[in-house]
Structure 1
């Protein structure tokens, strides 16, 4: 393979996601769970800029506090760059600068978006031109949500969430995100779900593979937020609220001020409120802000990771 190095920085933007629906199967022997989820990429983005360098490094800026993020080899963006370099035989490294806007440990896949954007940025920077299928395979090695951050749009994820099939969504859906000032550990939320299921046969998912309800697909196809509001579901929600009880009050507050429905996104603690339209979103955003909550109006679906040309 011929490596054609780019002289200037490559800028890639990748979206955060909301889980519109999440069904969690029984814990597997390897400790993971099979899931069935409906993803929607929304207009809250991570911006990754990549420069050729001798070493691998990452630094952070953006609209949120990034002081707690690691910048060593355990960072997912660094892992993504090194994985691509090993795969295509690039001898050098990359310097990454990431502007973060997606909540950290918020259930919206911000780290996964960083990894997806890094794969796309390094592929462009190094001129390796990997086919989409190969980038997707690399993304799946990095984490369950990374392949979706690559593709964006609306999709159904099965397995660990990395086996994707596109879902037709008509029009645009408006969401108001209530962003917490703390994060929740994804493994911790899954452990809490397993603990709650122990000894309660009614909560046990059994051995059948989880599936996304057809009502979700019908609502997306119709572009109908009211239908979608009725179909929103997350098996992890009760576990997340158990670990962070204040989330229950936020859900009630949002629905009191015009939300059609609210849902904990992924493992939380970000809560996504679905609304009828942009005007209602602004009203809800003001109401949540008045309650001293950080509220962000976003829409979806949006594109996955892509190079931006200035």
Structure 2
């Protein structure tokens, strides 16, 4: 650790994500599910500023500067756990204060907490001059949660296993989305539990396929070709029915996908955030306007974008 190079503060930005494809396997003995997912990082960011401190503390605010309710400020906070992990790894004996400005919805299925954790890993590494390698950061990220490694990587990627075994997806063409946030978050474990309940109740209609989950190659073809129409026809989320079972109003809005002018719409991850795929940027702005006029918190974003990175020191 090169303490002579330690800055006074480090600012990191980390993106939220959309699951373009999510196939969920059967529940395992440990209660978890293997998945096959295609992630895309999008231009909705978490901003984190790390400054030296005597202890480990965190403050989380929204885009207006108001403290975000319901986000823990103790060791349940994933970013704080990430900071402590880096300190232990490099033998740093001081602390850090993390200021987080959230744009990604809380408990919204877009990986906001994972983005915070990835940002904290990168920020503390830079703040303390640790010089950790990318593989070392990825290994720590995997210990923090299945989505954290992708928040470090960014771009578009295939995730298998618990979602943390990543392979970058070829293709850098821009895709335009409109995301609709919701104040009533859905807990990921509750959505997976509802999926298991529905699968048991509706067998064999929605039972998982035998064998490990697999990504539809058409999704990857769409990313390589840059075709929104091809991507629209291959979007999939096995958590859709479970999220809509817990929040029927989500399906009501998704039923308006074509009316809004979107090519496709889906629940993002475990929800309740919805993502609508647009043909292009102009179309996305029209969809954003229509949804905002109807009282929804809609935002035009694009992807893929880079993962967690230092933007100032």
Q: Deviations over 1:239-295 (max 9, x none)?
A: 000000000111122331100000101000011000011111111111111211110
**Structure 2: runs of 5 or more not aligned:** none
Match of 2:130 in 1: 128
2-structure distance, mates of 1:252, 1:207: 30
What TM-score does the superposition give when structure 2 sets the normalisation length? 0.96
Q: Deviations over 1:91-123 (max 9, x none)?
A: 111000000000000000000000000000000
Match of 2:73 in 1: 71
2:12 aligned with 1:9, yes or no?
no
Q: Report the CA distance shift for 1:213/1:206 in structure 2 as closer, same or farther (over 3 A).
A: closer
Match of 1:24 in 2: 24
Out of 298, 305, 309, the position equivalent to 2:301 is 298
Match of 2:205 in 1: 202
Q: Secondary structure at the match of 2:205?
A: helix
What TM-score does the superposition give when structure 1 sets the normalisation length? 0.97
Kept in 2, the 8 Å contact 1:254–1:288? The answer is no
Match of 1:40 in 2: 40
Shift of 1:62: 2.7
Out of 267, 270, 277, the position equivalent to 2:270 is 267
Q: Deviations over 1:45-88 (max 9, x none)?
A: 00000011110000012327612211011100110001111111
Kept in 1, the 8 Å contact 2:2–2:128? The answer is no
1-structure distance, mates of 2:243, 2:16: 19
Moved over 6 A (4+): none
Match of 1:190 in 2: 192
Q: Deviations over 1:188-207 (max 9, x none)?
A: 00000000111402322254
2-structure distance, mates of 1:88, 1:4: 15
Shift of 1:170: 3.5
Kept in 2, the 8 Å contact 1:254–1:284? The answer is no
Q: Report the CA distance shift for 1:210/1:237 in structure 2 as closer, same or farther (over 3 A).
A: same
**Structure 1: runs of 5 or more not aligned:** none
CA RMSD in angstroms comes to 1.3
2-structure distance, mates of 1:4, 1:16: 33
2-structure distance, mates of 1:7, 1:123: 11
Kept in 2, the 8 Å contact 1:3–1:90? The answer is no
Shift of 1:309: 2.5
Match of 1:230 in 2: 233
Aligned length: 310
Q: Deviations over 1:104-157 (max 9, x none)?
A: 000000000000000000000000011100000000000000000001000000
1-structure distance, mates of 2:131, 2:140: 14
